[in-house]
Structure 1
Amino acid sequence: MNDTTTKLLTLLNVSATKAGKRKWTTIDEQPSEKLNKRKKTAQFAAVDSEDNAEDMPVTEVVVDTEMEVEDVEMREEPEDEGGPDAYESHFGRTPALLTDASRANIDRNAWSTSRRTRGKLGSVVELVPEGSQPGASSDTAILERLRTPFRKRQTKQPREQTDLQKDLLSALSTNGDVYLPSTAWEHKKPIREAISLQAINHVTKKRRRILKNNERLSKVDSSASPPEDVQDQGFTRPSILILLPFRSSALDWFSALTSHTPSPAFQIENQSRFLAEYSLSPGMVDKLTTAEPGTYPRDHVETFKGNVDDNFRVGIKLTRKSVKMFADFYGCDIIIASPLGLRRSIEKEKSADYLSSIEILIVDQMEALAMQNWEHVKFVLSHLNKLPKDSHNTDFSRVKPWYLDGHAAYLRQSILISALETPDTRSLFNSTLKNVAGKLRVEKRWSPVQVPEGIHQNLVSFDCSNPQDEADKRFNYFTTQILPSVLKSAVQSSNTAIFIPSSFDFIRVQNYFKKHAGVSFAVLSEYSTNQDVSRARQAFFNGKKSFILISERFHFYKRYKIRGIRNLIFYGPPDHPEFYTELLSCPFLDDGVEASDVTCRVLYCKYDWFRLERIAGTEGALELVKAA
């Protein structure tokens, strides 16, 4: 007996002994009259804010764990034309691609790789388990009642966006994983709308299948065994998880999701509360959006406009005629949350059972999530598609077999979106995604960034043959080669800024300066208060501090222009290429500065490939890595 079976049997045995729980039996032993009419006691907090819900008294109400009574009003919709339904083929009772061979190949990381061009997506790398064939793309997988209004809206947008959405939906129609690691800001909205359409379509088809089976079961004689193909659910109801960095991001996705539900009789419950909690508070002015165009870089405005609180979670329940915001997690279809908000919920409740049946994972703005705390993302993903600790009154006769076998992770569709790629995001794509339908990664060739004309850029490589040694090798080369030569120079031993991408490296270099450097220095980190920042900038500009240490997270959040810089040392290439250009432009904030007055050194090794490519361009980075 394998571990998965043992855990599942333990779950069933333990949950069956709890008071108020229905013992799980086989269909042959005790058929249920209506298998989805399970009731559970849920707890709702009567609160005005999601953040203080933990401290408020709760009221017990009875809810339906799968479909409420009002859902029964929906009648079966016609099947899509053009062949077998993609939802049933992949997420149905017996997925064709879920075989012992495909799972074994995925577990040993055996993928067949191919490259091709996919329209507006550009060059892509497609990976499928060895021995499998790539899934056939289609544009007919969306239900007609969702597809028709979507196409109508497309006629009002630029052709380029429409083509991008079409190509993206074609890739998503295979139910394979999709990774968009270099998404332009102008494409964010059309991409959100296309992915939201995929999510709404998925929930609708799932609900339609459940209601169809309900109707069939209602006609089955109570003395007869129900048909075996009614297994149409997971352990819990939520099937879509959207991870985002800020409340403003959640507001954007809410708009995208609700854009696909236009109906004269359609209602959005708790919309005013959601808008109040996820928008700026009344009276607050967003200086990023009200400032004169060009005052702040576009990527900074797009990232930080609106409510940038990073601790939130909200459940969304979809019915035929309404969207219910702030639904209980065990009674909702979609969960929108920040990794921090979800982690706090999991740690407080000591359970992540509501993530056991996630079938579509969407992670957006991964570049911002990386600047927050990537460990939160890894924590949440580690709890996806695990066997639940409690039964939650689940009717196991309706649970799909592959959930019972612990194979849900092999069918989950993951959609990853980022403005840039990092080793962490590539590692997530390579190691965490196990979809038997395969996975697709968009490639991009980068051009060199533009820097002020005449500045000599000195890119210095250090030898490193093992990624595990990279941090130590970099620190050793910096402290024994770079810094001593700088301190010996009368010109470079003052007015010098040291930019450090990694927070770990930043603390390490700061401690070294405190104990060994013997020079005056100021610090600008993400933990610096406004008073600390003002004091540090002033001291450096006035020459009271010879060096200033700048963390990439500080620049990401603040985007200050630092005056007084004449010498720049990049401890490593920045993740964000625009930061490189901006810092090299800082010396020219001061009058009378010539390009010959500015020095620039960039320390790098071959493991800096992603960051180096965005600065030197793809071709230039190849030459630099070869020379490293």
Structure 2
Amino acid sequence: MSDPNSTTTRLLTLLNVSATKASKRKWSAVEEFPAEKLNKRKNARFLSVPEATVPGNPETPAATEIMVDAPVEPLDTAAEAEEDDELAEGVSDAYEAHYGRSPALLSESTRAAVDRHSWTTSRATYGRLGAVVESIPEGSQPGTSSETAILERLRTPFRKRQAKQPREKTEVQNDLLSILSSHRDVYLPNTAWEHKKTFREAISLHALNHVTKKRRRVLKNNERLVHATKVDPSGSPPEDVQDQGFTRPSVLVLLPFRSSAFDWFTALTSHTPAPAFQVENQSRFLAEYGLSPGMVDKLAAAEPGTYPRDHVETFKGNVDDNFRVGVKLTRKSVKMFSEFYGCDIIMASPLGLRRSIEKEKSADYLSSIEVLIVDQLEALTMQNWEHVKFVMSHINKLPKDSHNTDFSRIKPWYLDGHAEYLRQSILISALETPETRSLFNSNLKNVAGKLRVERRWSPVQVPEGIDQNFTQFDCANPKDEADKRFNYFTTQLLPLVLKSAVQSSNAAVFVPSSFDFIRVQNYFKKHSGVSFAVLSEYSTNQDISRARQAFFSGQKAFLLISERFHFYKRYKIRGIRNLIFYGPPDHPQFYTELLSCPFLDDGVEASDVTCRVLYSKYDWFRLERIAGTEAAIELVKA
């Protein structure tokens, strides 16, 4: 007996469920994607087109209902003819080669190579993007880039806007679009803030181009089906009309805050300007994803330099982290707050999606995602990375229900359960962490290959004269790293500090990991024998005020600080003379900021400040951003 959870069994169940619902109108893009001619509707009617034979079902094939207009007239205006020519030209472009009925790169050998993690790696330089590492499945051929993959209708206004911006930004966007057009996975770590908006505009254009091409292919096939039925009502429909997934959404944008969704909405609508496009429910979106009337953004209103730039850029605007919104695109409009099964783009936070999935006990609307965009990964790692892993585990899985899908229109590789091998993932982050690198290495299976931008780091700037002591502990297995670090800290480093009367007071312990922070805090409670205060992401304003005052006045000898606290609050802590980094911080600017805190007090010399950094070879990403690439290599070898 077959396994009820197997891919084949689940798919056959879906097909049989679909066949029993023949009386219902199947999902079709005609209703959702009205072309200009179809918008001029007077009387709608339904045509029945024979559905493909259902495997395992000997009954007469069900009829698939497609909503069309009567009559369907040929294209007769210059605009419509031009659009049809554009569609015909795009049929053979990179989109069709990658997402068509039979992608050339999708083979048993390439899938097997991806599953084995057998990648052929090379290095290259891509213009303004700099050095990159390219990986393709073993035995495969690298994909080609094509700037002309963007539809003319979208490319022309984009070029006009580019003409008004600095040449460097234009070159960065063009280089990025050229890579994206090959439909490879792209990982952009260490992205500078001045490039964030530049990247968003280019990537949102790529996503809009993808949705538009998919819509036009569906419309073209709808016309062919209608024409075939008119010519020969009893004949068989065309067999090459597989152009859809199980559900309509094809682009997913994962973001940390509502303000991030606001930025992506701005980037997306910059390519769909009025009066050619109308934005439906725009006022509601601005109200729910912007600031409420009368509210003042203290970060944006503060004097320049009051807060670090990365803090302002991350936390300005609406920073609610529980949201999800569907965006439906048609030829003339952008509709916000569309129902998920009727939209094209989903913008959501990992928390928002997880709550939706757990509430509905279904993630079917993620079954046909073809372009995944994850922005501000550095912020997502500071929230809850488990939410990101949860969402990733539900993308491109076979749906639990048919959702009135017309299975005769589904692309074969969806039915085979191979969608994850063609999904293009685009990852953007201000810095790289083991979690984000693991996501890139382990979760992305695109047979077209993947590309990662590299960067060499220079040492961060710290107050001159401070003696920085980097202490390495041995660890051969990453699974033992947390225990080894804790053991070295409690048996070697901390006892050494407590022996010194000077270093055992006015000492701040900075802990990057929240799990390590709880462990260290419990140790201080039970075994350290010293007074201490705590600053964590869970501290209330009153807790923070009392802890800072007690530490500054000398009532508490030690101050435990979590990296998440500093990430969210960014307080300047007075009274620090001795800094102990339980591990290098993820954000290199935190290292500089904390080492600058002692000099908030008058009369402090660099010789009065001590700094100890505990690290292992598995802290490479963090260490490289602080010490610089060259020095980090020497420290790891030590």
Q: So what's the TM-score if we normalise by structure 1?
A: 0.92
Structure 1 counterpart of 2:36: none
Structure 1 counterpart of 2:38: none
Residue 25 of structure 1, CA deviation: 5.0
8 Å contact kept, 1:523–1:548: yes
Residue 21 of structure 1, CA deviation: 5.5
Give the letter aligned to residue 126 of structure 1.
E
State the secondary structure of the residue aligned to 1:592. Answer: coil
8 Å contact kept, 1:520–1:547: yes
8 Å contact kept, 1:458–1:601: yes
Structure 2 counterpart of 1:520, from 516, 519, 531:
531
Structure 1 counterpart of 2:167, from 159, 168, 176:
159
Distance 1:542 1:202, change over 3 A: same
Structure 2 counterpart of 1:511: 522
Structure 1 counterpart of 2:399: 388
Structure 1 counterpart of 2:84, from 76, 79, 86:
76
Structure 1 counterpart of 2:43: none
Distance 1:377 1:397 in 2: 33
Structure 1 counterpart of 2:471: 460
State the secondary structure of the residue aligned to 1:219. Answer: helix
Distance 1:277 1:449 in 2: 39
Structure 2 counterpart of 1:67: none
For residues 579-608 of structure 1, what are the alpha-carbon distances to aligned partners after superposition, in whole Å with 9 as ceiling and x for unaligned?
A: 000000000000000000000000000000
For residues 294-329 of structure 1, what are the alpha-carbon distances to aligned partners after superposition, in whole Å with 9 as ceiling and x for unaligned?
A: 000000000000000000000000000100000000
Question: Which stretches in structure 1 are left out of the alignment for 5+ residues?
Answer: 39-71
8 Å contact kept, 2:187–2:453: yes
8 Å contact kept, 1:36–1:214: no
Distance 2:88 2:583 in 1: 52
Q: Please, which moves more after superposition, 12-21 or 286-295?
A: 12-21
Structure 2 counterpart of 1:96: 104
Q: Please, which moves more after superposition, 464-473 or 1-10?
A: 1-10
Distance 1:537 1:37 in 2: 69
Residue 8 of structure 1, CA deviation: 0.4
Residue 79 of structure 1, CA deviation: 3.9
Residue 324 (structure 2) pairs with residue 316 (structure 1): no
Q: Residues 343-382 of structure 1: matches in 2 within 5 Å? A: 343-382=354-393
Structure 1 counterpart of 2:52, from 15, 19, 26:
26
Residue 529 of structure 1, CA deviation: 0.3
For residues 454-476 of structure 1, what are the alpha-carbon distances to aligned partners after superposition, in whole Å with 9 as ceiling and x for unaligned?
A: 00000000000000000000000
Distance 1:82 1:363 in 2: 27
Residue 228 (structure 2) pairs with residue 210 (structure 1): no
Structure 2 counterpart of 1:69: none
Structure 1 counterpart of 2:198: 190
8 Å contact kept, 1:455–1:596: yes
Distance 1:84 1:502 in 2: 49
Structure 2 counterpart of 1:109: 117
Residue 550 (structure 2) pairs with residue 539 (structure 1): yes
State the secondary structure of the residue aligned to 2:146. Answer: coil
Distance 1:37 1:422, change over 3 A: farther
Structure 1 counterpart of 2:304: 293
Structure 1 counterpart of 2:14: 11
Q: Please, which moves more after superposition, 565-574 or 26-35?
A: 26-35
Residue 526 of structure 1, CA deviation: 0.2
Structure 1 counterpart of 2:608: 597
Q: Residues 58-73 of structure 1: matches in 2 within 5 Å? A: none
Give the letter aligned to residue 491 of structure 1.
V
Structure 2 counterpart of 1:302, from 313, 334, 357:
313
Distance 1:617 1:83 in 2: 48
Residue 628 (structure 2) pairs with residue 617 (structure 1): yes
Residue 80 of structure 1, CA deviation: 7.3
Q: Please, which moves more after superposition, 20-29 or 220-229?
A: 20-29
Structure 2 counterpart of 1:264: 275
Residue 15 of structure 1, CA deviation: 5.1
State the secondary structure of the residue aligned to 1:163. Answer: helix
Residue 75 of structure 1, CA deviation: 5.9
Distance 1:597 1:91 in 2: 63
Residue 11 of structure 1, CA deviation: 2.4
Structure 1 counterpart of 2:566: 555
State the secondary structure of the residue aligned to 1:230. Answer: coil
Distance 1:367 1:32 in 2: 50
State the secondary structure of the residue aligned to 2:628. Answer: helix
Distance 2:201 2:67 in 1: 31
Q: So what's the TM-score if we normalise by structure 2?
A: 0.91
Number of aligned pairs?
A: 594
Residue 222 of structure 1, CA deviation: 2.4
Distance 1:457 1:33, change over 3 A: closer
Distance 1:19 1:459, change over 3 A: same
State the secondary structure of the residue aligned to 1:199. Answer: helix
For residues 340-370 of structure 1, what are the alpha-carbon distances to aligned partners after superposition, in whole Å with 9 as ceiling and x for unaligned?
A: 0010000000000000000000000000000
For residues 113-144 of structure 1, what are the alpha-carbon distances to aligned partners after superposition, in whole Å with 9 as ceiling and x for unaligned?
A: 00010001100000000011110111010000
8 Å contact kept, 1:80–1:140: no
8 Å contact kept, 1:114–1:127: yes
For residues 87-135 of structure 1, what are the alpha-carbon distances to aligned partners after superposition, in whole Å with 9 as ceiling and x for unaligned?
A: 1000011111000000000001100000010001100000000011110
Distance 2:175 2:83 in 1: 31
8 Å contact kept, 1:11–1:391: yes
8 Å contact kept, 2:87–2:213: no
Give the letter aligned to residue 52 of structure 2.
T
Residue 264 of structure 1, CA deviation: 2.2
For residues 163-203 of structure 1, what are the alpha-carbon distances to aligned partners after superposition, in whole Å with 9 as ceiling and x for unaligned?
A: 00000001101001000011000000110000001000000
Residue 17 of structure 1, CA deviation: 4.7
8 Å contact kept, 1:80–1:144: no
Give the letter aligned to residue 270 of structure 1.
N
Residue 10 of structure 1, CA deviation: 2.1
Give the letter aligned to residue 89 of structure 1.
A
Distance 1:280 1:299, change over 3 A: same
For residues 179-235 of structure 1, what are the alpha-carbon distances to aligned partners after superposition, in whole Å with 9 as ceiling and x for unaligned?
A: 001100000011000000100000000000000000000011221111111000000
Residue 541 of structure 1, CA deviation: 0.2
State the secondary structure of the residue aligned to 2:86. Answer: coil
Give the letter aligned to residue 476 of structure 1.
N
State the secondary structure of the residue aligned to 1:228. Answer: coil
Residue 7 of structure 1, CA deviation: 1.7
Distance 1:73 1:562, change over 3 A: farther
Distance 2:565 2:290 in 1: 24
Structure 2 counterpart of 1:398: 409
Q: Please, which moves more after superposition, 158-167 or 220-229?
A: 220-229
Distance 2:385 2:274 in 1: 39
Give the letter aligned to residue 160 of structure 1.
E
Residue 26 of structure 1, CA deviation: 1.9
Give the letter aligned to residue 94 of structure 1.
S
Structure 2 counterpart of 1:85: 93
Q: Please, which moves more after superposition, 74-83 or 329-338?
A: 74-83
Residue 613 of structure 1, CA deviation: 0.2
Question: Which stretches in structure 2 are left out of the alignment for 5+ residues?
Answer: 27-49, 55-59, 70-79
Distance 1:242 1:95 in 2: 24
Distance 1:411 1:80 in 2: 23
Distance 1:77 1:250 in 2: 34
Residue 76 of structure 1, CA deviation: 3.0
Give the letter aligned to residue 381 of structure 1.
M
Distance 1:16 1:79, change over 3 A: closer
Structure 2 counterpart of 1:52: none
8 Å contact kept, 2:369–2:423: yes
8 Å contact kept, 1:501–1:575: yes
Give the letter aligned to residue 209 of structure 1.
R
Structure 2 counterpart of 1:255: 266
